[in-house]
Amino acid sequence: MNPLADLDLSRLSEMSRPEKEELLELLEERVRRESRNKITTLYPDLGPLRRELYKKHLAFFAAGKEHRELAFIAANRSGKSLCVCYELTCHLTGRYPQWWPGRTFSRSVIAWASGEDTKAVRESLQPMLFGPAGALGTGLIPGDLIAGTTARSGVPEAIDAAAIKYVDGGLSRLVLKSYDQGRESFQASQVDIMVFDEEPPMDIYSEGLTRTMSTVPGETGGMVMCAFTPLKGTSDVVLHFLGDTLGMAA
């Protein structure tokens, strides 16, 4: 029985001091647990933020079933980064909601998530995934599933990589990168998932795509997910996605 599931506050005025102290401890524990399991509050079945209202988000998730390259190209503040990071978290943990319409991985994964520069990654992408500085585990990745992190050298409060507990007991690996590290830093490794938060230069996008060309027998390759507002106009990356379609995937 979960003592946090249904706390009865109706008897507050009748409670003794020890009972009130116990209740306070239970309330604090519920807040702590909920803050470290944020992802379960997103895309609910019912309510003012119910899942059915986010049609573009659901279409993005579903597109992964058929396409290896995905881009959420939309205006600022439209939830595109949240959408992509939500899917990334599902793949890292292997914990997919029962309504999930998209691609799934049946094993722990290696993922890279990147942004324009180290400051942008630390101030935007990192808090969304891990929570703000000093509150590790309050982002989309549940706190209890973060097995460990390593700091980025020379950048205060920046995470370089993290180990994430997968549902089968294994560990997924997430590396945070930035475009200002150059194309060479996106070479060499084999990666299951590549995330670009904000539009990357075409040479870096191409390197990222190459990294996801799986050599694992029976697998069709990894996936690339982008989330950006097309502030650079009809760039090579925008044309790569919008040349044949008006939304997602090549």
Instruction: Give the tens place of pLDDT for each residue, 180-227.
Output: 999 999 987 889 999 999 999 999 999 999 999 865 655 668 999 999
pLDDT of residue 199: 95
Please give the residue that has the higher pLDDT: either 172 or 189. 172
24-69 pLDDT, tens per residue?
666 665 665 666 778 999 999 999 999 999 999 999 999 999 999 9
Q: Where are the beta strands (DSSP E) in 18-128?
A: 69-73, 110-115
Options 198, 199, 207, 219, the catalytic residue: 198
Tokens of 222: 């990894």
Note whether 237 and 202 are within 8 A (CB): yes
Look up 198 and say whether it is catalytic. Answer: yes
Whether the full predicted model's pTM is greater than 0.75, yes or no, is yes
State the architecture of 35-242 in CATH terms: 3-Layer(aba) Sandwich (3.40)
